[in-house]
Structure 1
Amino acid sequence: MNLEQNLTAALTQSPEGKAEEAWPADAHLHQPPEASQLLLPEHSSCLAVKTYLRMCGLPFLDRISDNAEFMSPGGRLTHLPVLRLGPVKTFAEFEPIVAQVEAMQAGHSLGSWMSEDRRDDVRCLVNYVENVFTLAEIHMSFVDAVNYQRYTAPRSGAAHPWPLSVLRRMAKQKEALRILKVYQWQDMDNDQVLHEVGVCVGTLIGQLEEQQPEEGYLCGARPCALDALVFGHVAAILTTKLPNMELAEVLATYPRLLAHCRRIDGSLFGGKLLSGEEPEELA
């Protein structure tokens, strides 16, 4: 089934016998303004979702909304981006959005070429990579004093007038520290955080080195959700100008991973994301 059929058919059947739901023509992806409000972990999540939807060939409209986080139905880590499918269905964060797309596309989803056991392995990897990268981004945004004072704090309350801006900034910091405590990252220093990222990247490099030929993706000859997630985090970290760029400096020591992300950037965004240019909007 091609994309045009997906948009015009109300309900179809996959080869596996599962019902497929049509992708709506008015799918909207909401996020706060990138230039003034979006924080690093939120940027990574938004970019990962956009990359995944582009890999799936599913059209969506970007919507910049000051109140995007308040539109969110919830989530574990960032609550963003918010994907609205029609007038009722709303989803937030990478993993729930991927699960919804897979449910709608059934036998034609991005990872349908893999066995069920392999898809389960990929879901575990996605969860692991999402946790490590997002927690590292939260830590570097809220715990690192220089990043917090000069980058995170000004953005956290930017959508609101004083004194609401101060209250919102305090609330976001409290929520970030709560998340770090849940995952037992609250007492880590920067070196420990960077070590965890290095271990995670080592796992990803191992995945890439297993693929033949070298231009393969993380789990085989075709892309999957893991590729989109990794690209979203790596591209966001490399292109977000924090006062303390230690996280980006660590990633820069892994040329194999950077080459993989540059190929995705070239195929989906015209090579403009990692070069700092503005990619064309997906129609």
Structure 2
Amino acid sequence: MNLEQNLTAALMQSQSLGKEAAAEEEAWPAEAHLHQPPEESQLLLPERSSCLAVKTYLRMCGLPFSERISENAEFMSPGGRLTHLPLLRLGPVRTFAEFEPIVAQVEAMQAGSSLGSWMTQDQRDDVRCLVGHVENVFTLAEIHMSFVDAVNYQRYTAPRTGQPHPWPLSVMRRITRQREAQRLLKVYQWQEMDHDQVLHEVGLCADALVAQLEESQEAKEEGAGFLCGSRPCALDALVFGHVAAILTTQMPNMELAAILGTYPRLLAHCRRIDGRLFEGKLLSVEEQLEYPE
């Protein structure tokens, strides 16, 4: 069997397993806990974005969960591709971390009643691709601005990464986290980018999201639509999580927030979600922050 046949067989097996998982709809457990470190003292921007995106998604799904503040949440995590947070514990045993794995698990459990069940299979595949792209661009930009920008690292990132540990463990932990961030940026070929290139990538992603919004809203007969139609989907939750976190996280260098501030349609979309799910309290903090000219 050649490589192409192997890939085809693997794809067919994956699709078959996905259909079987969708057919077995599970009940949402009575105990669902979302763990994250303390936001005021430990949580970094990329982690806060991921945590907020997951909270938004679960609220959009109407699924009950309790929020748990755990200083060792990152060590409780089963792992992940980018941030390892938040950690979702379903029942006494099962744990999942980061936005995409949590969404995949919720979709498998909810099957025909999931948030994106109104879409066709092709539309759901498109949303997964968009989610992966947006997650990469925004998270890598946030990691770059947190660990590579010297001022942000010294005044924001380093104190938070070392905060829960005594000296000299705090110093060792800061060094480890910085190396992990640099290694991750290298994997995605972002380590050599300067600030202007990072901001350019974010701008391109924001342009694409605005175009997606405009296309979706033009296709609707009335009212304001979401990113992929008249109903919300995982992409709306992810975008809101990143945009809201970037706009409301006070850092020495607020260039990411300043770039997003030039996209009023995208901000209006996020404020609409904020009003529906968080009573407009999250983005009200934005008015108190100062962005560079």
TM over 0.5: yes
Give the Cα separation in 2 of the matches to 1:270 and 1:17: 33
Query: Structure 1 residue 244 and structure 2 residue 267: aligned?
Result: no
1:29-108 equivalences in 2 (<5 Å): 29-108=34-113
Counterparts in 2 of 1:8-19, with a 5 A limit? 18-19=23-24
Shift of 1:114: 0.2
| Conserved 8 A contact 2:32-2:91 | yes
Matching of residue 23 in structure 1 with residue 32 in structure 2: no
Structure 1: which 5+ runs fail to align?
A: 1-13, 278-283
Q: Compute the displacement of 1:160 (Å).
A: 0.7
Matched, 1:258 2:267: yes
1:120 corresponding residue in structure 2:
125
Task: Provide the TM-score with structure 1 as the length reference.
Answer: 0.91
Match status 1:275 vs 2:284: yes
Contact 1:208–1:214 (CA under 8 A) maintained in structure 2: no
Aligned to 1:193: 198
Q: Cα distance, 1:276 vs. partner?
A: 2.6
SS at match of 1:20: coil
Aligned to 1:9: none
Letter in 2 for 1:41: P
Distance (Å, rounded) in 1 between the aligned partners of 2:119 and 2:72: 38
Contact kept? 2:151, 2:253, Cα under 8 Å: yes
Q: What is the CA deviation profile of residues 120-142 of structure 1, one whole-angstrom value per residue up to 9, with x for unaligned ones? A: 00000000000000000000000
Secondary structure, aligned partner of 1:276: helix
* 1:158 alignment partner in structure 2: 163
How large is the RMSD of aligned CA atoms in angstroms? Answer: 1.4
Deviation per CA, 1:78-124: give whole Å up to 9, x if none.
00000000111000000000000000000100000000000000000
Number of aligned residue pairs: 263
Matched ranges for 1:208-247 at <5 A: 208-211=213-216, 212=220, 213=222, 215-247=224-256
Which structure features the higher share of helix residues? 2
Q: Contact between 2:22 and 2:108, CA under 8 Å: does it hold in 1?
A: no
User: For 1:144-163, what per-residue CA distance to the aligned partner results, in whole angstroms no more than 9, with x for missing partners?
Assistant: 00000000000011111111
Name stretches of at least 5 consecutive residues in structure 2 with no aligned partner: 1-18, 287-293
TM-score, normalised by the number of residues in structure 2: 0.88
SS at match of 1:133: helix
Maintained 8 Å contact 2:226/2:232: yes
Cα offset, 1:17, TM superposition: 7.7
Matched AA of 1:209 = E
Distance 1:276 1:145 in 2: 25
Q: Distance in 1 between matches of 2:179 and 2:92?
A: 32
Q: Does the residue aligned with 2:40 lie in a helix, a strand or coil?
A: coil
AA of the residue aligned to 1:67? N
In the alignment, the residues of structure 1 paired with residue 64 and residue 230 of structure 2 have an alpha-carbon distance, to the nearest angstrom, of: 24
Q: Within 1, Cα distance between the matches of 2:68 and 2:90? A: 13
Aligned residue for 1:159, secondary structure, equals: coil
> CA separation in 2, counterparts of 1:240 and 1:172?
20
Q: Distance in 2 between matches of 1:108 and 1:276?
A: 34
Say whether the 8 Å CA contact 2:57–2:234 is kept in structure 1: yes
Q: Which ranges of 4 or more aligned residues in structure 1 deviate by more than 6 Å?
A: none
Could you tell me which amino acid in structure 2 is paired with residue 255 of structure 1?
Answer: P
**Aligned residues of 2:78 and 2:95 also touching (Cα < 8 A):** yes
Distance 1:214 1:256, change over 3 A: farther
Quick one: distance in 2 between partners of 1:134 and 1:61?
25
8 A contact 1:31–1:80 mirrored in 2: yes
Q: 1:119 to 1:238 in 2, by over 3 A?
A: same
Q: Distance in 2 between matches of 1:275 and 1:267?
A: 14
Secondary structure, aligned partner of 1:179: helix
